[in-house]
């Protein structure tokens, strides 16, 4: 029997398992997708060399590719050797070297754009404006940290590195004291010498800034100042583990002015996209719960009549139901309680649809006997009418002095059947009642 039912719903079970398996596979490959996006940004990162032939000096920095692999963005200070007749070269991770010319040099923004002699055959960086990121987002600094003195071989020239951190404090920071015009992203990711000009990447692999420097302050030094010769000089030293990157918003107008192609996201990623990258297993779990719920709902809806019947049978087994018979011969009659003696003598009370409790406690009784009659119990007895049988049921609730029918005390806790016209009293005939049907 069970085997037949399973066979009947085989396609439902099969489809559910396929969906669950698919969501699980996606959760496994989600971190790989994120890594692929960052890997693409790394592939667009290049080393920028600034060479002065006359004194054989070499300056190094980083940059990233734009404009169909024909341009490189970097910092203005990275190519400062051009002021002394130097040459700017672009060194790729593959070991290839390309000459370049300066298309844009803005020292006040510390931005520069190099035009490559040829094409680099590398993927262009994809941008995202500052409105798409927020304080607390994960970021990565890409570049080539270190200076020329620390490079052991030519192979190391092309090794790009990543350092992870967060966007901290604020976006659009100025008055930092680095450039004349400032619009920075503040991060705790390590930006070391050689990282300048490289990309600041978000968790989706988009470039959101151009790395500049660590937080630097002027401090007093004992060594003589190399420029003035004074015995006590000043030197810029790293003040903290805080780094700065120029917001990509400052670069885009310059690319537009030079007609350089680029791709940019102007809308922030939605909640699902962020959750998919950060907590893929949680999102998959929610997806599985939703899928199973939908499939169960569809299954129940298709067989709703059968489900309702089964629930009805189960409910009847657990909760017995009591109802009036619409064909009862007493359905149009009234059940009456007549007070013959005592405090309510001469009164009538209809009790067709209610159970009447008689006693001294007004909180639990409908017919309240005066409190002065201590011989009557707090809840002495109850009377109810059976519309199907056409009779009354009288029950004594363990009263001290008893409830009597036809001068006989009835057993406590057991219902006594009364027909119309029957008399009963509490303790004695001073509180006597009768029942009737009209």
| Phi and psi, residue 381, nearest 5° | -160, 170
Residue 124 covered by a domain: yes
Indicate the pairing of strand 184-187 with strand 161-173: antiparallel
pLDDT at 156: 62
pLDDT at 33: 46
Tell me: do 235 and 195 sit in the same domain: yes
pTM of the predicted structure, to 2 decimals? 0.53
pLDDT at 332: 73
Cβ atoms of 195 and 145 closer than 8 Å: yes
**381: number of Cβ within 10 Å:** 26
Residue 327 covered by a domain: no
pLDDT (tens digit per residue) in 73-117: 999 999 999 988 899 999 988 888 999 999 999 999 999 999 998
More confident residue, 229 or 354: 354
CATH number at 143 reads: 2.40.10.120
Question: Which residue carries 């009263």 as its tokens?
Answer: 399
Residue 264 covered by a domain: yes
Average pLDDT over residues 285-293: 77
Summarize the chain as % helix, strand, coil (round to 5): 25, 35, 40
pLDDT at 93: 80
Residue 108 covered by a domain: yes
Q: Which residues of 101-111 are buried (b: 16+ CB within 10 A; e: fewer)?
A: eebbbbeebbb
CATH number at 347 reads: 2.60.200.20
Q: Give one DSSP letter per residue of 139-190, joined into a string.
A: EEEEE--S-GGG--SHHHHT--EEEEEEEEEEEEE---SS-SS--EEEE-S-
Residue 384 covered by a domain: yes
Q: Of 321, 351, 377, which closes a domain?
A: 321
d(CA 418, CA 276): 74
Both tokens assigned to 317: 């087994």
Tell me: do 287 and 222 sit in the same domain: no
Q: Of 256, 290, 321, which closes a domain?
A: 321
pLDDT at 65: 95
pLDDT (tens digit per residue) in 3-62: 444 455 556 566 666 666 665 555 454 454 445 667 778 889 999 999 988 777 788 899
d(CA 217, CA 221): 12
Average pLDDT over residues 197-205: 91
Half-sphere exposure of 149 (CA within 13 A, CB side): 1
Tell me: do 414 and 315 sit in the same domain: no
Both tokens assigned to 156: 């190391």
Residues written for the chain? 438
Tell me: do 309 and 427 sit in the same domain: no
Tell me: do 220 and 306 sit in the same domain: no
Tell me: do 165 and 266 sit in the same domain: yes
Closest CA to 184 of 211, 221, 220: 211
| Residue 327 binned pLDDT confidence (cut-offs 50, 70, 90) | very low
Cβ atoms of 82 and 102 closer than 8 Å: yes
109 DSSP assignment = T
d(CA 263, CA 204): 14
Residue 162 covered by a domain: yes
Residue 39 covered by a domain: no
Q: Which residues contact 124 (CB under 8 A, 6 or more apart)?
A: 44, 65, 66, 67, 68, 69, 261, 262, 263
Closest CA to 212 of 63, 92, 82: 63
Tell me: do 260 and 397 sit in the same domain: no
Tell me: do 227 and 300 sit in the same domain: no
Question: Among the residues of 167-270, which ranges form H helices?
Answer: 252-257
pLDDT at 203: 85
pLDDT at 288: 75
Coil vs helix vs strand at 423: strand
Q: Of 321, 344, 374, which closes a domain?
A: 321
Tell me: do 153 and 204 sit in the same domain: yes
pLDDT at 278: 61
Tell me: do 291 and 367 sit in the same domain: no
What is the span of the domain harbouring residue 79? 44-278
10 Å CB burial of residue 240 (0-12, 13-18, 19+) is: exposed
Half-sphere exposure of 91 (CA within 13 A, CB side): 21
d(CA 387, CA 370): 31
Average pLDDT over residues 249-257: 95
Residue 209 covered by a domain: yes
CA 16 to chain centre: 24
Tell me: do 142 and 202 sit in the same domain: yes
Cβ atoms of 122 and 111 closer than 8 Å: no
d(CA 308, CA 410): 45
pLDDT (tens digit per residue) in 44-56: 999 999 998 877 7
Cβ atoms of 393 and 386 closer than 8 Å: yes
| Residue 438 binned pLDDT confidence (cut-offs 50, 70, 90) | confident
Question: Among the residues of 224-357, which ranges form H helices?
Answer: 252-257, 271-278, 280-302, 304-318
Indicate the pairing of strand 87-91 with strand 161-173: unpaired
pLDDT at 160: 84
d(CA 79, CA 49): 8
CA 263 to chain centre: 29
Q: How many domains does the chain have?
A: 3
What is the sign of the dihedral through the CA atoms of 202, 204, 208 and 213?
positive
Tell me: do 205 and 74 sit in the same domain: yes
Both tokens assigned to 113: 């754009």
| Residue 164 binned pLDDT confidence (cut-offs 50, 70, 90) | confident
């Amino acid at each position: 029997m069970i085997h037949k039912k399973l066979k009947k719903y085989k396609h439902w079970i099969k489809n559910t398992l396929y969906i669950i398996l698919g969501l699980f596979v996606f959760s496994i490959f989600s971190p790989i997708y994120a890594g692929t996006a960052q890997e693409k940004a790394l592939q667009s990162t290049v080393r920028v060399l600034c060479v002065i032939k006359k004194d054989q000096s070499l300056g190094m920095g980083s940059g990233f590719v734009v404009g169909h692999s024909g341009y490189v963005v970097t910092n203005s200070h990275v190519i400062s050797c051009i002021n002394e007749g130097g040459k700017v070269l672009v060194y790729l991770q593959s070991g290839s070297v390309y000459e370049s010319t300066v298309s844009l040099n803005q020292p006040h923004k510390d931005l520069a754009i190099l035009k490559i002699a040829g094409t680099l055959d590398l993927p262009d960086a994809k941008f995202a404006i500052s409105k798409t990121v927020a304080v607390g987002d994960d970021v990565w600094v890409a570049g080539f940290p270190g200076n020329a003195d620390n490079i052991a071989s030519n192979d190391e020239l092309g090794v790009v590195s990543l350092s992870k951190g967060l966007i901290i404090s604020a976006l659009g920071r100025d008055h930092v004291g680095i450039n004349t015009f400032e619009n920075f992203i503040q991060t705790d990711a390590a930006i070391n010498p050689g990282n300048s000009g490289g990309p600041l990447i978000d968790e989706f692999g988009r470039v959101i800034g151009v790395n500049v420097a660590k937080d630097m302050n002027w401090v007093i030094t004992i060594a003589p100042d190399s420029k003035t010769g004074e015995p006590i000089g000043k030197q810029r030293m790293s003040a903290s583990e805080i780094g700065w990157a120029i917001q990509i918003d400052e670069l885009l107008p310059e690319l537009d002015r030079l007609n350089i192609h680029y791709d940019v996201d102007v809308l922030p990623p939605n909640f699902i996209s962020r959750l998919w990258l950060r907590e893929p297993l949680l999102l998959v779990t929610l997806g599985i719960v939703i899928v199973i719920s939908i499939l169960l709902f569809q299954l129940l809806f298709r067989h709703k009549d059968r489900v309702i019947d089964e629930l009805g049978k189960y409910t009847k087994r657990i909760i017995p139901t009591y109802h009036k018979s619409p064909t009862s011969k007493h359905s149009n009659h009234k059940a009456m309680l007549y007070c013959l003696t005592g405090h309510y003598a001469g009164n009538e009370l209809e009790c067709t649809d209610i159970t009447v409790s008689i006693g001294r406690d007004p909180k639990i009784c409908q017919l309240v006997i005066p409190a002065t009659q201590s011989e009557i119990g707090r809840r002495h007895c109850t009377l109810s009418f059976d519309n199907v049988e056409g009779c009354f049921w009288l029950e004594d609730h363990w009263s001290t002095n008893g409830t009597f029918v036809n001068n006989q005390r009835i057993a406590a806790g057991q219902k006594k059947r009364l027909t119309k016209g029957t008399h009963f009293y509490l303790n004695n005939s001073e509180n006597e009642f009768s029942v009737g049907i009209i």
